[in-house]
Amino acid sequence: MLRHALLATLALSPVLALSSTAVAAPSLTRAIAIACESNDSDCDAPEKSLAAPISRRVLAGDVVEYRVDVRVGPGAYDVIGLHRVVRESAPSVPAPTSKAVMMVHGDAWDFEAAFLAAGPTPGGASLPVHLAAHGIDVWGIDLGWTRVPANEADLSFMQSWGFSRDVRDIGAALGIARVVRAVTGHGHGRLHLLGWSRGGQLAYAYAGAESQRPAGLRHVAGLIPVDIYLETDDPDLRAGACQRRADERALVASGQYANDLGAQVGPLGLLAQIDPAGPSPAFPGLDNEHAAMTLGAATFLLMPQPPVPSYHLTGGLWDETGVLDLAYTDPAVWFDVLSRARPFQPLAMIADADAAACDDPQDDVPFDDHLADITVPTFYVGAGGGFGAAGIYTTTLLGSGDVSSHVVQHFPEEYRLLDVGHTDIFQGYEAETLFWEPIRAWITAH
């Protein structure tokens, strides 16, 4: 029964899945229940179900994407998105794989925008497609806040949407992925967990929480934090995190429950696409094209306490007047990614992350309590103009005996403004060689 239902749910075509609704819905409910039980989480929705029909699309060659929204709670936005990017041996039949990875996005963007939507070539290049084309089963999650639309006026439901909610949902997604793989003949092995940016902090938090469970109830085979730290040994960076945490807690206390950065920057990407030479409404004196490039190349200027010096999303080419062009990514690709920013993100979740980095005993959070208990193999990946080498410190706090790192840094630290940026890892001209291939090699070896 479970095998038939889950084949219809995530391995076969949408038509077959929809034609099997009566059978698939209760069996999928059971799959989510198994995930919740193994994650020791409070998944107390009265009924778990598909929140939308399952879709399938061809990405490149024999690599396809399946996606579905899954309801994980009773609220209107208690929904996560699940993606599966995999090779097919025949239409709607995923090819056998022995390695699998779950990818968790960071701030502002969902799975598609962060990892899949845009690439440096018109052939559909992206990290998920690259991994899938080499025989790795790629899964991804859209965290619940990415499903909140721009026209939602009452965001009070986000008041308590902190790290624990996302950690729970990552566990549910991992559990579902393992069950689906098992009943479709891919084995019941654990998945590697790749988290980029804020998603990397969530990956640390999830792996730490999971370390407290019996081995048979764990889902993670290995950890791949990408361009992020959860804790820092730099007193200045820690002080910045403490200030951000205080500001975010104050906003929540005042009744502002969401960061609307995505709603502000998304239109700038769209304007750069449709009216590149027009005057920017956000950056006086710049046209829309250069405003969007400046946002990417000088991100730190828009942050009162940047997480690292000269932090930027995509590296720029500069002269004395400002940003002339992008150095590592096609501007059209950056504009597309920028335009896809989701409008709202819970401030409680962001404050939890900054509280962990602040490490103030007076505002202790549990998300960094069990770093020393994380014993799975870990591979840190960093970009010199993003978090770069600053992310290595967190890996030294782990209990794993298999920890390695790969930081791409073209310039000395004092010139990090010119270096490869945070999003160039996924959209850069040389991303496949510099980042994707090392990630693939590590997954294959582990």
Q: For 180-217, b where at least 16 C-beta lie within 10 A, e where not — what string?
A: bbebbebeeebbbbbbbbbbbbbbbbbbbbbbeeeeee
Residues 6+ apart with CB under 8 A from 394: 204, 225, 228, 229, 230, 231, 232, 371, 380
Q: Is residue 320 part of a domain?
A: no
Of 62 and 362, the one with more pLDDT: 62
Domain enclosing residue 101, as ranges: 59-235+352-445
SS3 169: helix
pTM of whole model > 0.95? no
The phi, psi pair for 178, rounded to 5°, reads -65, -40
User: How many domains would you assign to the chain?
Assistant: 1
Q: Please, what sign has the CA dihedral across residues 11, 13, 18, 20?
A: negative
As a whole number of angstroms, the longest Cα–Cα distance in the chain is 67
Q: Is residue 419 part of a domain?
A: yes
* Distance, CA of 23 to CA of 279 (rounded, Å): 56
**Ranges assigned E (strand) in 327-373:** 345-346
Q: Is residue 137 part of a domain?
A: yes
- Could you tell me where the DSSP H helices lie in 39-134? 111, 127-133
Evaluate whether 130 touches 436 at the Cβ level (below 8 Å).
yes
Q: Is residue 259 part of a domain?
A: no
SS3 73: coil
* Distance, CA of 66 to CA of 86 (rounded, Å): 8
pLDDT at residue 17, rounded to an integer? 33
pLDDT at residue 49, rounded to an integer? 55
Residues 6+ apart with CB under 8 A from 15: none
How confident is the model over 189-202, as pLDDT tens digits? 999 999 999 999 99
User: What whole-number percentage of the chain has pLDDT above 70?
Assistant: 87
How confident is the model over 66-117, as pLDDT tens digits? 998 888 888 999 999 999 999 999 888 889 999 999 999 999 999 999 999 7
Q: Is residue 441 part of a domain?
A: yes
Q: What is the mean pLDDT of residues 417-438?
A: 97
pLDDT at residue 283, rounded to an integer? 95
Give the CATH number for residue 208: 3.40.50.1820
SS3 404: strand
Q: Is residue 70 part of a domain?
A: yes
Q: Is residue 324 part of a domain?
A: no
Of 176 and 199, the one with more pLDDT: 199
